[in-house]
Amino acid sequence: MSDKLKQIISKQGQQQDNDGLNHSDDVVQLVGFIIGEEEYAVPILAIQEIIKPFPWTRVPQVPKYVVGVFNMRGAVIPLIDLRLKFGLSALKQGDETRFIVMRHGDDIAGFVIDRLTMAIRIKKTDIGPAPDTINGDDTMIDGVGKQEDRIITILKVNKLLERDF
């Protein structure tokens, strides 16, 4: 009986590998957004949801860029302003402002962005490494994607969700 099971499992494993080869291997799906002047992107699978801004609660004793916590269907989630985190000045939230809720493992947080651009499919071969000047493990930049005339900075979700204070 257990042999059969093993067979099935191994079969499934093979199938998955095949799927991987067919699709996700050479194309990555990203969601692009603007902060300040730059376009950034994160993998679509890391995004739990994108919502319009709504009220949040300030939290004391945290860096400025952690603007507070908000209630997402019963869960209390931290809210981080990426403008402030990236050293830009604060901007009043407008019609295009969105909260992007990202998840990595058990870590979850909402990020304030200036506006969304689009869902991006990009070939892996079109993604270059982060510029030499900012490499090392500390960087938030996963790579730089080139598409037509645009350059998109791809961010590491796990780094974004890492507490650095």
Partner 1 sequence: MDEFQEILQDFLIESFELVEKLDEDLVELESNPEDLELLNGIFRVAHTVKGASSFLNFDVLTHLTHHMEDVLNKARHGELIITPDIMDVILESIDLMKALLTTIRDTSADGGIDVAACVSKLDKISGGSGDVKGPAVVEAEPEQEQEKAPEVVEKTPSEDEPDYDNMSPDDLEAEIERLLQERQAEDKQKREAKIAAGESVVSLEPDDAAKEEPAPQPVAKTPVPVTPTPAPAAKEAPKGDAKAAAPAKKAATVEQTIRVDVKRLDHLMNLIGELVLAKNRLIKINDDVEERYEGEEFLEELNQVVSIVSLVTTDLQIAVMKTRMLPIGKVFNKFPRMIRDLTRELNKKMELKISGEETELDKSIVEEVGDPLVHIIRNSCDHGIEIPEVRVAAGKDETGTIKLKAYNEGNQIVIQIDDDGKGLDADMLKAKSVEKGLITLSEADAMSDKEAFSLIFKPGFSTAATVTNVSGRGVGMDVVKTNIEKVNGIIDIESEVGVGTSMKLKIPLTLAIIQALLVGVQEEHYAIPLASVLETVRISKDEIYTVEGRSVMRLREEVLSLVHIGDIFEVERILDSSEHAYVVVLGLGTQKLGLIVDTLVGQEEIVIKSLGDYLKGIEGVAGATIRGDGGVTLIVDVVALMDIAKNVKSTVMTESSSAAQLTLEKSKASDYCVMIVDDSKTDRTIMRKALEPMGITLVEAADGQEALNILKAGDHNFDAMLVDIEMPRMDGYTLATEIKKYNRYKNLPLIAVTSRTGKSDRMRGVESGMVEYITKPYSADYLSSVVQRNVNFKSEFL
- Binding residues for partner 1, per CB under 8 A? 55-62, 66, 68-71, 74-78, 106-109, 161, 163
Q: How far is the CB of 47 from partner 1 (least distance, A)?
A: 17
| Closest CB to partner 1 among residues 66, 152 | 66
| Closest CB to partner 1 among residues 33, 111 | 111
Q: Return the ∠ at Cα 60 (arms to 63 and 114), rounded to 5°.
A: 50
Identify the residue whose tokens are 């969601």.
31
Joined tokens for residue 113:
């962005």
| Closest CB to partner 1 among residues 122, 156 | 156
Q: How far is the CB of 156 from partner 1 (least distance, A)?
A: 15
Q: How far is the CB of 77 from partner 1 (least distance, A)?
A: 7
**In the chain, what is the straight-line distance between the N-terminal and C-terminal CA atoms, in Å?**
53
Q: Residue 130 burial by CB count (10 A; 0-12/13-18/19+): exposed, middle or buried?
A: middle
